[in-house]
Amino acid sequence: MVNRLTGKKVIGVKQTLKSMQNGQGKIVYIAKDADTKLIEPVEKLAFSVSIQVEYIETMKELGRLCGIEVGAATVLILKEENHLFW
């Protein structure tokens, strides 16, 4: 069981979709109790661009994993950018 989601992330369906479309996603977490109409586009895009999908039981639990006081339908963990310094 995960206690806290670490790394840079975006929370919410709109930001998740936008970031995945820009190729920034690594793993998407989806709350099982979120409205199907909201999460269906996220699932479809994640599978089409080969982003790992993990399911969390409730929106409340997913919000808690992000350290926020409200529920979240989706959370996207962003790819870490590798910067080379010369």
CATH number of the domain that 62 lies in? 3.30.1330.30
- Rg over alpha carbons for the chain, rounded to the nearest Å, is 13
Percent of the chain past pLDDT 90, that is, above it, reads 78
CA distance 20 to 76: 8
> 80 in a domain, yes or no?
no
Q: How many domains are contained in the chain?
A: 1
Name the amino acid, one letter, at 4: R
> 40 in a domain, yes or no?
yes
Q: Put residue 41 in one of left, alpha, beta given phi > 0 → left and psi -120 to 50 → alpha.
A: alpha
**20 sits in which H/E element:** helix 13-21
pTM of the model: 0.88
Mean pLDDT in residue range 1-19: 87
Average pLDDT, the chain: 90
